[in-house]
Structure 1
Amino acid sequence: MPKCLSVALAVAFVLTGLAAPAPAQPGGEPQPAAPAVGTQAPAGPDLRRQVSDVRAVTATIACFYGPHIEQAEARRLCTAQTRGKLLDTAVAQFSHDPEVVRSGLQGQDLRALADSLLRPVVSGEEIRPGRDGVAVRLTLRAETIPGALPERLAALAASPELRTAALAETAVRDRQAAEARMAAVPFAADRAFAAREMADDMRRDAAFAERSLAPGMSIAQVKELMGNPAALKQAVIGPESYLCAGYGKVWAVFRDGQLACLRSRLDYVRRYDADCHCAGNYATILKND
């Protein structure tokens, strides 16, 4: 088979589209929605005031600490770092509040005010220990109690002792967050989670391919199930044209446009001067025709 056919097969794999059937349109006119059953909640100024006073703040951080730091300590450090980011977000939010603007509060006083109103809870947590250290991804969420902001503003303005204590407490939290940032390995957390997620995706793809793909399938059928491959290779061996589509930990090997085998990895064979085929190390072949 001419080599141009191999190239044509590769191009066909990339260009093969899957036409999705258009959803059926229901006949007739749309029916009006049924009226809600039950009593309506009062929409007076008090309720609107309470709803507007509720502020939700969320912060997520991924942290990575070296092997000398225990898992529990890594979690504590990442919590401190996430708490610092949560406070930064809250300060930015409170700074635009009309009551805060009227009070003239700013700088560390504004930071202490926001800090005193936060009661964070962990809403998401993932810890992944590894040979090189511990990766932690943490999400904290906090909501302010309705009416708490004006009360706290008045209390801080009326009591210098309370203001001093709030400033000192916030300074401690800021120092803890700074120490946590210093202890973390820069940029390593995102890489650790991305690598783990990629490995998980590859394992899922391989397991799905083993269950779903069968020799004899066309390129279009495989693409419908697996999507576009991450890698493509091709070879012409005698009269046969091979196309290998890589899906993470599994390779779909097509012979003359039909799935011939599934492999865990490609295997170079000297006499073919190629690794895209269904020969060689049969321990790597998951399915064969």
Structure 2
Amino acid sequence: MADDRHQTPASGPAPNTPDVVELPDVTRRDLVARLMKIGAVSLAMALAGGGAVTTLTTAIAAESTKSERKYRYGMVIDTRRCVGCEACVVACKQENKTPPGVYYTVVLENGFGERPDDRPLFLTKPCFHCEHPPCVPVCPVGATFKRKQDGIVVVDYDRCIGCRYCLVACPYQARYSDFGENYPAIEHDTPWADVPSPEYKQFRQRAEGKSPIGNARKCTFCLHLQDENGRYDQAAGRWPACAKTCTGKAIHFGDLNDPDSEVSRLLRERQAIRLKEELGTEPNVYYLV
């Protein structure tokens, strides 16, 4: 899989661990100005109001990384529009040819609890592509990492050893292990069996003893639909399968770094929450409530 990581031996430290950011000596006024420049308005206001510089250093580094990244892809899911039809689940499995037991997105009923009006509440749950993904540092061979160009968390199937540490570390249960199961259409050697999976633009055909069998697997935001510049094209149909197929128009996808994108507009106009924010993972999937 092509990527821009530093290649390190499997016995060495896991790649893509967060770099230590050393800030030069600056005045409080200079630091506030820098925060405003990168868009970290809330942090700037906190510092201007007397917040300690040392407690804000980590947050400043994180905000800088988001701003400097070319794209920051994420989802905004409208819980008022989701009807629980699971069209997203079916579309995802067909697009990525995932086997039984491997789901890149699932739909939970009453995922947030019940509504006051007794209407069911559905929760669509893909991988959250966290800014600080717990799955990355636990991988002993550096097979899972966060792409620098767009923030999508991926798995290198050729490097993964199937230890499942990442499955345990993920607080959202968004990872699965491929145990080699097949659907009848593949087992019976039908034409569907000859269609390769487009995942990671690798077009692998499923075969016993070959990756991704035995590997950890997860949602990739259908990154194989990106063009050579890393962009998606909704009008051309090159868009994550779940968002493209959602019958209730509940799943919105786009670049969170782009203030004019649909996802950015929705976050400005509507009340949104993220799951398990107290863990500091900073998921790039938001829910409108």
More strand by share: 1
TM over 0.5, yes or no? no
More helix by share: 1
TM-score, length of structure 1 as denominator length:
0.20
TM-score, length of structure 2 as denominator length:
0.20
Structure number with higher relative contact order (C-alpha < 8 Å, ≥ 6 residues apart): 2
Considering only CA atoms, is the larger Rg found in Structure 1 or Structure 2?
1
